[in-house]
Amino acid sequence: MQPNNNTPPRRFSRPNRLGRSFNLQDTYPCPVCRNGTVQSMVMMETLSCSFCRHIFSADLSLQTLQVEDTLPKSSWIWNRDRWITRTSRDSDLTYLVWFTSAFLIIIPASMIGLPAYVFPPIGGLQLNSFSIVWAEMTLGIHSLIAVWLLVEHYQLPTYVAAKITIDRTIEQLKDRIKNQFSIQ
């Protein structure tokens, strides 16, 4: 039997990868979106995800993977089975995100709601008073913005996957519309 000189196919199945040290030949689950697979790019020392397209750099001596195209740059260590989050995120940025989120939730709604309690309208303050409804709407909308800010900062895998799926669906729809117009 002739020896096969071709490069071996990329290993993907879990049993092959299980227990193996991190290397540039195997593929790995993406630690960002947890939907795609991370593998090294051709002729490059970087890796990319097949689903979220994030770019990673590898340090094989430390067995770590670091995402390069987002801030803060998170990194993970391969424990021969799965990725373990290695670094805490940039603490200054994390404080800023939490401070901004708290500010958005507390201050605008308070600025609308508190004057209504301090200076109630003639006839008393009702639950359906304009200022109370306005304060509740402000609280709801600003809370949504704060949640979005936190989810974006922590890049929750479900959120990342959903965002990419929506982007791709929109792109497909655009292509379909473009094709329909070009046929006519």
The residues that touch Zn ion, with contacts defined as CB under 5 A, are: 30, 32-33, 36, 49, 51-52
List the beta strands (DSSP E) in the chain. Answer: 28-29, 37-40, 46-49, 55-59, 64-67, 75-78, 83-85
DSSP letter string, 76-92 = EEE-SSSEEE-S---HH
CB closer to Zn ion out of 33 and 105? 33
**Position 64, amino acid:** T
Kindly tell me which of 30 and 109 has the beta carbon lying closer to Zn ion: 30
Shortest Å, Cβ 14 to Zn ion = 17
Distance from C-alpha of 155 to C-alpha of 52, rounded to nearest angstrom: 12
CA 52, CA 45: separation in Å to the nearest integer?
Answer: 19
- Using the minimum distance from each CB to Zn ion, give the nearer residue, 30 or 97: 30
CB of 84 to Zn ion, least distance (A): 17
Nearer to Zn ion, 36 or 40 (CB): 36
CA separation for the pair 102, 110 (Å, rounded): 12
| Closer to Zn ion by Cβ: residue 46 or 126 | 46
Beta strands in 18-176, from DSSP E residues, in sequence order: 28-29, 37-40, 46-49, 55-59, 64-67, 75-78, 83-85
CB of 183 to Zn ion, least distance (A): 35
Nearest Cα residue to 53 out of 71, 35, 26 = 35
Query: Taking the complex as a whole, how short is the minimal distance between the CB of residue 51 and Zn ion, in angstroms?
Result: 5
Task: State the minimum distance, in angstroms, from the CB of residue 119 to Zn ion.
Answer: 53
